[in-house]
Structure 1
């Protein structure tokens, strides 16, 4: 396949549009939302009006007819300015709407996707549990069929779930054990739980290190009843379905991490040109120049990695290894660039009024969410035959 990742005119137009939105709309406002731990509803509404939540979905469901490359471009440009806004989009699309599109019935798609694509509604992805973490196959949440009504009765809990408790959250797709295989292994299925369903409790927002303008909560399910037709995909295939969703989502997280890494470069270059010490701009010092050169090298390489993985996904080729490579590399260099950007800014880099302080706080979770760095290395090793 071609490794030419120069953008087509329509992709470049989208990238520029989101870049302008990020700088003109997000940048002036997001600091206050971040400091107050508030969800930026107005910004999210404008993102919906721009069609960003519908980027990779067909027009027949209210989408924009794009693909994962277009989604990645939008995520990268948003994350150059702020990761809370970017992760709200990433989770809303990759984790909230994509399972419905990929595995849902036609009725489920037509019921949920138009509102999810417009940003009028957010969806969430209920996979992680308090005692499981990376061991998603160890799911303890259960869903049993009521033989009289045909309903699913769900009991259990989920943690660290993005977009799960906003005023516009409409559904959470949860994984639950719905039976056992002959060898005793769990059959895990995916079930759509609409917000507000009796017995479905959303906890208060977490107090987080970063992503403070995004919504992250713990969920609990106590005899939650939903119709039998809320099963998403085949019964017993929920774990496999979500592994596929995570493979795709790693490309999106890689794009987001690349944006954060590039944002660190942007802010540090501007600062190094204006900050003066010992009678000259600090950017005239070769030590600073070399830091910036290394930061740019990392961001550029990460961009090539996620675009390569996205291109393979769009072309219908195998992309599992490339997605893991992109996610692993981009998340780790995002942490490195954020640390270096803070160092270049000195004491000001430790002050929340400077964007690099947010970037420093936001970067670490990228090595953890949607598969830790250790999990990515495991996946890559498996693809190498081990």
Structure 2
């Protein structure tokens, strides 16, 4: 179906990205997966291409785009090639909205130039060893110093994407005592410079997929964080987190759909070339029917993404609608990529084939930014159930 969300400028950006990925990413990607992270030079190159500044206002050096359409092009091109840009998605889609929405003018002037260039890479630390979707259960604590100049931060975080390479980490912590009557109160966001004494990167976690995206455990032992690094108001973090989850879930939906579309491309090319019983796998009716089913599902997911993009651009994308988009697109991606891998036969299980990478990389989409079960709960609540 014809799409109306992209312009000629989007397509010019797509061409630039496609050439960049083919020339500077795909040839090195297997090595990056082996080392467990992309090189810092990749982030600087993305900064040069303007990727990090798409949604940054012009007064801070960015392009001033207020919607997700350019980042959708980026996700589609990464999916098409079966690659990622390491922790870029966290930097641009998760952290940036917090800085723009809740950062002070001084903080924006201090951090955004490096953010744009890739010299300052960021991450956000919410999840703890005993706290996943239940953000109100966060136990990492920060105490204001007696002279009121800094916080003293103690605790641990896990599953932090980009945590090993980050220069600035937004840490969600408890700045007032836990109140069982109001579990959501007392949470704040502190922006932690990773050169601070007491900060440490623990284990680099060995994941099923997303091998070129570093994920780590972090610890904070009496880390002193200047009060100037408090993001927004003290005690308001839970509201901030729920506010930005809409954007995070839209990003997850886009990434899932893009990977599913990429899988169809890989499978279609493979079945045309692979010979079985003297003819291409594509000649069998089962192959045609499977890919037809996949194409129909991905088209439906694409339509939901496009509608969500328009709603987001208009400032009208609700939490329930974002949950619907994430639930549908991530579940579709799981089904479609599994079917496309099956069409590769035994080769689909080999990591040298991009379909295997997409299969492993996409599985986490049904977990992060809220599990599929959490999405169903949100949607059911919206139905009055």
Q: TM-score, normalised by structure 2?
A: 0.94
Tell me the equivalent position of 1:25.
24
2:117 is matched with which residue? 118
C-alpha distance in 2, partners of 1:75/1:215? 18
Counterpart of 2:173 in structure 1 is 176
For residues 31 and 53 of structure 1, the distance between their equivalents in structure 2, rounded to whole angstroms, comes to 24
Look up the match of 1:84.
84
SS in 1 for 2:167: strand
- Contact 1:261–1:337 (8 Å) recurs in 2: yes
Match of 2:75 in 1: 75
Q: What whole-Å deviation, never above 9, does each CA across 1:116-145 have from its counterpart, x for those lacking one?
A: 122222110111111011111111111111
Q: Distance in 2 between matches of 1:5 and 1:317?
A: 18
Contact 1:83 1:362 in 2 (8 A): no
Shift of 1:83: 4.6
Q: Secondary structure at the match of 1:101?
A: helix
Per the TM alignment, residue 77 of structure 1 is displaced from its structure 2 partner at its CA by: 1.6
The CA deviation string for residues 311-347 of structure 1, in whole angstroms up to 9 with x for no partner, is: 2111121432221111111111211122112110001
Q: In the alignment, which residue of structure 2 is the partner of 1:352?
A: 351
Aligned equivalents of 2:83, 2:250: Cα separation in 1: 15
Task: With the length of structure 1 as denominator, give the TM-score of the two structures.
Answer: 0.93
- Measured after TM superposition, the shift of residue 103 of structure 1 is 0.4
In structure 2, C-alpha distance between the alignment counterparts of 1:188 and 1:54, rounded to whole Å = 29
Q: Residues 266 and 318 of structure 1: is their aligned pair in 2 closer, same or farther, counting only changes over 3 Å?
A: closer
Runs of 5+ in structure 1 lacking a partner? Answer: none
> In angstroms, what is the RMSD of aligned CA positions?
1.9
The corresponding residue for 2:201 is 202
Q: Deviations over 1:194-230 (max 9, x none)?
A: 1111111111311111000011111111111111121
CA distance in 1, matches of 2:303, 2:214: 30
Conservation of the 8 A alpha-carbon contact between 1:201 and 1:219 = yes
The aligned counterpart of 1:229 is 228
Alignment gaps of 5+ in structure 2: none
Give 1:344-383 correspondences, 5 Å limit.
344-383=343-382
Decide whether aligned partners of structure 1 residues 353 and 221 sit closer, same or farther in structure 2, where only a CA change above 3 A counts: same
- Residue 72 of structure 1 and its aligned partner are, at CA, apart by 2.1
Give the CA deviation at 1:32. 2.7
Aligned length in residues: 381
Report the CA distance between 1:54 and its aligned residue: 1.5
Q: Distance in 1 between matches of 2:53 and 2:61?
A: 7
Within-5 A mapping of 1:265-344:
265-344=264-343
| Secondary structure, aligned partner of 2:224 | strand
